[in-house]
A and B are shown apart, each in its own frame.
Chain A
Amino acid sequence: MSIDWVAFTPLSALLGGALIGAAAALLMLFNGRIAGISGLVGRLLSAQTGNGEALLFVLGLLLAPWLYLALAGEISVQVDAGPVALVVAGLLVGFGSRLGSGCTSGHGVCGLSRLSLRSLVATLSFMGAGFAIVFFLRHLLGV
């Protein structure tokens, strides 16, 4: 392992992380809800009644890049995956996050902050799978 010091952005990572934590704290303190993106989107898809709150959270999330563009002027999103990889990845992320009851936000941020054993196991599992797949694709397959 060698650390990529050029790409390392500790301050923006901590600041952005703090905002994510503040968003999760706000939703729990005032609404008593876990800020888990896959769970909130899943609730919208299941078309149950009383999902206004989930809809408004997602709306706020979708407004964020437009506010960010207005303030910062540019969004850096670099995607190297091709169309087939994007579809396979999307299917895995959608299906897997629902089966596992959460993703990076619900398990990784909210669950770990609640000291939930389930979320710790989930976080170690998805991080481990992520590390393994990237190793396989980049270093064994050479994609």
Chain B
Amino acid sequence: MRGVFAVISGLLFGLGLLISGMANPAKVLGFLDLAGAWDPSLALVMVGAIAVAFVPMQWVQRRGTTLRGEQAQLPSNRQVDRRLVIGSLLFGAGWGVAGFCPGPALVAASALIPQALVFVAAMLLGMWLFGQFDRRVSL
């Protein structure tokens, strides 16, 4: 059953990215361009997502278990550290350069958009490089 829920969740997630405009870099950059002609749409994507996810997330977090009675896997790290901030700044910079973040990039790559295929290849390389870096350097 876990597999069925995982596929449905991934499918809904991808449809949400497409319907909301998150999967369109021009739209994302229109949102990130505060000093230009600003398109506030993507702020509403986050509002819509959190409005729906908030109660279920809080409910599972308080119980610690899923609806099926299994242990929920919640992040245990509460430290606001250098890794979190530096990583998020690097990620945000990349997001601002091309307008793609991981989910939308995968969706657009699956639709065989050539630029998304290039981006996803570089993104996977970046994730692999992080694995190599993480083994050698402690930040």
Residue ranges of A at the interface with B (Cβ–Cβ < 8 Å): 1-4, 7-10, 12-35, 37-38, 41-42, 45-46, 52-54, 56-69, 72, 75-81, 83, 85-101, 103-105, 107-118, 121-123, 125-135, 137-139
Q: A9–B21 contact, CB under 8 A?
A: yes
Question: Closest approach, in angstroms, between the C-beta of B26 and any C-beta of chain A?
Answer: 4
Residue ranges of B at the interface with A (Cβ–Cβ < 8 Å): 1-3, 5-27, 29-30, 32-54, 56-61, 65-68, 70-75, 77-80, 83-103, 105-108, 110-111, 113, 115-116, 118-131, 133-134, 139
Cα distance, A116 to B96, chains bound together (Å): 24
Q: A64–B129 contact, CB under 8 A?
A: no
Q: A67–B48 contact, CB under 8 A?
A: no
Interface centre among A96, A111, A118 (most CB of B within 10 A): A96
Question: Closest approach, in angstroms, between the C-beta of A45 and any C-beta of chain B?
Answer: 5
Q: A110–B57 contact, CB under 8 A?
A: yes
Q: Chain B residues near A52: list those with CB within 8 A.
A: 3
A20 with B57, Cβ < 8 A, contacts A26-B5, A79-B115, A89-B98 known: no
Question: Closest approach, in angstroms, between the C-beta of A17 and any C-beta of chain B?
Answer: 3
Q: Chain A residues near B37: list those with CB within 8 A.
A: 2-4, 7
Question: Closest approach, in angstroms, between the C-beta of B95 and any C-beta of chain A?
Answer: 5
Q: B42–A38 contact, CB under 8 A?
A: no
Q: Chain A residues near B24: list those with CB within 8 A.
A: 76-78
Q: B10–A91 contact, CB under 8 A?
A: no
Which of B22, B95, B111 is in CB contact (< 8 Å) with A16? B22
Q: B97–A137 contact, CB under 8 A?
A: yes
A90 with B118, Cβ < 8 A, contacts A20-B16, A77-B24 known: yes
Known pairs A52-B3, A129-B91, A131-B32; list 14 more (Cβ under 8 Å).
Answer: A3-B40, A12-B41, A16-B45, A20-B17, A41-B106, A59-B7, A80-B25, A81-B97, A91-B122, A110-B53, A111-B75, A126-B88, A128-B92, A135-B34
**Interface pairs (8), CB distance under 8 Å:** A21-B51, A23-B10, A37-B13, A56-B6, A81-B115, A93-B91, A93-B98, A134-B33
Q: A133–B92 contact, CB under 8 A?
A: yes
* CB nearest neighbor in B for A54: B6
* CB nearest neighbor in B for A53: B6
A86 with B92, Cβ < 8 A, contacts A33-B73, A60-B6 known: no
Q: B96–A77 contact, CB under 8 A?
A: no
Question: Closest approach, in angstroms, between the C-beta of B130 and any C-beta of chain A?
Answer: 4
Q: B87–A13 contact, CB under 8 A?
A: no
